[in-house]
Amino acid sequence: LRANDRPFNLSYHYAVSNNAIKTSKYNIFTFLPLNLFEQFRRLANAYFLFLFILQLIPQISSLSWFTTAVPLILVLSITAVKDASDDIFLYMIVKFILLSSILSADLLLLSSSEPLNLVYVETAELDGETNLKVKQALTVTGDMGDNIDELAGFTASQQPSGQVQGTLTVNGQTYALDNDKVLLRGCTLRNTEWCFGLVIFGGPDTKLMQNSGKTTFKRTSIDHLMNVLVLCIFGFLASMCTVMAISNAIWEVREGSVFTAFLPREPGVDAALSSFLSFWSYVIVLNTVVPISLYVSVEIIRLGNSFYIDWDRKMYYPKNDTPAQARTTTLNEELGQIKYIFSDKTGTLTQNIMTFNRCSINGKGYGELFDFSGQRNTDKVDFLWNHLADPKFIFHDHSLVETVRAGNPEAQAFFRLLALCHTVMPEEKKEGELNYQAQSPDEGALVTAARNFGFVFRSRTPETITVVEMGKQVTYELLAVLDFNNVRKRMSVIVCSPEGKLTLYCKGADTIIYERLHPSCNKLMKVTTDHLNEYAGDGLRTLVLAYKDLDEDYMDDWKKRHHEASTAMDGREERLDELYEEIEKDLQLLGATAVEDKLQDGVPQTIEQLAKADIKIWVLTGDKQETAENIGYSCNMLREEMKDVFIVAANTAEGAFALEKDLQLELLRTACMCQTVICCRVTPLQKAQVVQLVKRYKQAVTLAIGDGANDVSMIKAAHIGVGISGQEGMQAVLSSDFSFAQFRYLQRLLLVHGRWSYLRMCKFLRYFFYKNFTFTFVHFWYAFFCGFSAQTVYDEWFITLYNLVYTALPVLGMSLFDQDVNDRWSFQYPQLYSPGQLNLYFNKKAFVRCMMHSCYSSLILFFIPWAAMYDTVRDDGKDIADYQSFALLAQTCLLVVVNIQLCLDTHYWTAVNQFFVWGSLAAYFAITFTMYSNGMFLIFTSAFPFIGTARNSLNQPNVWLTIFLTSLLCTLPVVAFRFILIQLWPTINDKMRHKVRKEALPAPAPRRLPTRRISTRRSGYAFSHSQGYGDLVTSRRFLLKKPLKSRLALTNIESFYCEA
């Protein structure tokens, strides 16, 4: 691309890419066909569309078309409204971007209105970080000022990809381009009046769109089980229809030719054709075993449980106004089945608020001073001598200040390194009021420490760094920045002092720096290592500092090769890494820093609660082993009574990756045998690999929690990803499924919301399959009495409204509000969480039990009404033994029974539950009397044939007696069976509910002792001739008898939970 040369750019092949991006799926003309096409790609929707087509064939269907069409249209409409609202939301976002200061293309920054051509941007739309980032233009373009339209240069870059790499050539000089000089699409311009830029990429070629890869869709274990069960139900439906078809053929051969009860038989009907048509007819009649509203109901329940997380004030962190957030609505019940938690340390278990605590300089340690009682025996250091010091900085070791002020060369070189080797950007709105914008809290803490000890980082340009050294301002020429990444684990800068001295300053992890030290540092390295171990034992984060003086001739040659590598279009990173390795060797050791990062509130208690719930917690951290172990003891993950420790250590890249695939399983088995697992010195990629290893072989539900960009891969790899909005930006939150501000909220997310969501979803599925199978099996039994002719038992309108109106709201009420115990008991007994880990509430066995329960209920619901209506007459002697009366009685019994079953399954009643249950019954009778009335028959004769059935049948005592008997016979065995199970084989929930009910009973009123009559008699019997209670009093058996029973009862409960 050429600057200020539009004809050339338009003629170049790059111009085929414009800046248009379409984020919405539909427009007003394509919405209906495209949305229907997408919805019918789902198996369930396609299946019911197939049923609807079958119902249009008169020779097959015994049901009207609306029995399938109405539910299908309703489901499609709900989904279409949701898709349309999401698409409109995306369109409004794009419209907002066009009208705001959000950048809409990738720009090369040329100049700006700010001093030194700085630009402040907010990248919240990209990485979620709300702190402002500073970009700086190249000096060659920034100095052009208002003459930017005279820029005659061109840029060269790679093909559009996830990275921005290129060069800018101006006046024959080539400059490297990287992210520090590019404003990306999605950034928002802040605190900057204007800026000029050259568009590098636009539209789909921008980095934002190139990195917008497909997000892996996570599904819960219940989703997978539901898919398997639905396939099994399809097979079961096919088998039932086959049985019905074969039975119809047999009936046609034996009875059909002579069966002319009312109308003569149609000619040309043979058994084979009748059997074939009967198969498809029963596919229609028995289709309710595959409920069309199942998936819609599941999504509604998940959405409601997600709102509970968003609304939970007990997970709200007022300090930074951060509520808990369910960023996905499809994984709620998975929170109740977590077996393994993988946690980052820094910012997740700790506060990620770094403070410079201790240091080692030239073999001497400085830092906090304590006496034998553990109390500080010195006052805070007074930094009034330094007018640029940060007043919030606290340090207690006065000897370090004295050493620095005395001119100790090693101490001053130590803090000079901290003031120069970083990527911090300073902001000074008033004289002396410095504010540092650091990419990590560690860098901010170290630069602040250098500032207070007399080496104040004041300003920077692309070519210089200005530092106030002990009151004297010194400007260093910045020759190169060898930046930090997770593979290098170090950072270096090469500077030239005003005297012309060339120095490389480096800081990084101890193992990395030690490999690059000069052999003359071996003695100092041993002393520094002892200090590092001491600091790590106190849970401090450590870095090692080193430097190297450079030769001018070598530096000129290296800088030339560095410029060639940095402007290379291919293999830039590999070539730069080779140059970095070449120059970062034979370093001289300066010392080490120790930064304190305190634990968050409630972390030990949370880990203890989760451990009681049989959840295994693995900590994956990049810190050294001693630091990780100390944090483990602080969090109660490690305890003194733990004797056996298993450590896998490797000092080289080959050793770290030496485990072959056949040894992975052995490593996993060994780790799972340990009570506590802490992985240290791991990279972000290794964190994700550990999670994937457990997912692959343990078949357990995993959760990963972190707060930084280095935790994103781990969060995405786990079944559930939890992001903590902390000091390291919002990238972890943006990649997570759930987010909050503090680690301690994790126990409420799992032990309360997760367990309730899993319990509610399992209850919903059990009840949903029960009521649908019961509804369907009645048709199956009726087939043996209607010649397998696919005649339905119920009225067509009842079939249509059964799942949509009559039974929809009661089950949703139970699935949204039910809870076995409240949150207080969930915290007090975290062992209640274990059934979800074992899939005890809904599995294949539970599904089979639902089928058996439905089969029994359907037998009662068919044969009892059948026998009750057989040759039955009214009170006035008129016959009511007709098909319509039987259908009305059967469907009324069914609706009453399934509602009673719902009541038996509900443990927590609210006004909403009561309204839904009684409201559904009231709606049923209201709709039934309306549809079976004379008026509806006169208006829609063919649609409402059950004229007067409700009025003639429901006023008879024997009908209500039948309803009572069927309800009793369906529910009494269930109650008896559950009572026996609770008495003989109680589950942990049964014992817990019994304890809750027992403690909820009101205490017995204190018995008033009779008032003694005041007597003036001075004589009486002081002793009895019979044996008294003296031995009981002296032995204290009588006094201890009652408390002893109470303690024993409590012991039994505790031992039960320990075993669970």
Strands of the sheet containing 355-361, edge to edge, are: 364-366, 355-361, 588-596, 541-549, 502-508, 490-496, 472-482, 464-469, 455-460
Rounded CA-CA distance 668/693 in Å is 8
Residue 266 corresponds to which tokens in the numbers above?
Answer: 């149609």
Rounded CA-CA distance 138/168 in Å is 10
Element (H or E) spanning 115, and its range?
Answer: none
Residue 892 corresponds to which tokens in the numbers above?
Answer: 């009324």
Cα 289–294–298 angle (5° rounding)? 155
Long-range contacts of 63-66 (CB under 8 A, 24+ apart): 63/284, 63/285, 63/792, 63/796, 63/799, 64/796, 64/943, 66/796, 66/800
- Could you tell me which of 861, 857, 863, 866 has the C-alpha nearest to residue 886? 866
Rounded CA-CA distance 331/468 in Å is 54
Rounded CA-CA distance 698/948 in Å is 62
**Letter string b/e over residues 545-554, b meaning 16 or more CB atoms within 10 A of that residue's CB:** bbbbebeeee
Phi, psi of 604 (to 5 degrees): -60, -40
Known catalytic membership, residue 371:
no
Q: Exposed, middle or buried: residue 93 (CB in 10 Å: 0-12, 13-18, 19+)?
A: middle
- The residues that bridge with 356 in the sheet, in sequence order, are 595
Cβ atoms 189, 195 nearer than 8 A: yes
CB atoms within 10 A of CB 143: 11
Provide the pairing of β-strand 720-724 with 701-706.
Answer: parallel
Rounded CA-CA distance 17/1 in Å is 13
Strands of the sheet containing 677-679, edge to edge, are: 325-326, 738-740, 720-724, 701-706, 338-343, 616-620, 677-679
Cα 478–479–481 angle (5° rounding)? 85
Beta strands in 226-369 (DSSP E): 325-326, 338-343, 355-361, 364-366
Rounded CA-CA distance 268/566 in Å is 88
Cβ atoms 210, 162 nearer than 8 A: yes
Rounded CA-CA distance 1027/735 in Å is 80
| Catalytic residue selected from 106, 205, 312, 344 | 344
CB atoms within 10 A of CB 827: 15
DSSP state for residue 831 in the 8-state scheme = G
At 774, is the secondary structure helix, strand, or coil?
A: helix
End-to-end CA distance of the chain: 69
Phi, psi of 26 (to 5 degrees): -120, 165
Rounding to the nearest 10 degrees, give the CA dihedral for residues 716, 722, 725, 731: 10
Q: Exposed, middle or buried: residue 1033 (CB in 10 Å: 0-12, 13-18, 19+)?
A: exposed
- Could you tell me which of 101, 95, 100, 106 has the C-alpha nearest to residue 19? 106
**Letter string b/e over residues 117-128, b meaning 16 or more CB atoms within 10 A of that residue's CB:** bbbbbbbbbbbb
Cβ atoms 394, 387 nearer than 8 A: no
Rounded CA-CA distance 993/22 in Å is 55
- Annotated catalytic sites, by residue? 344
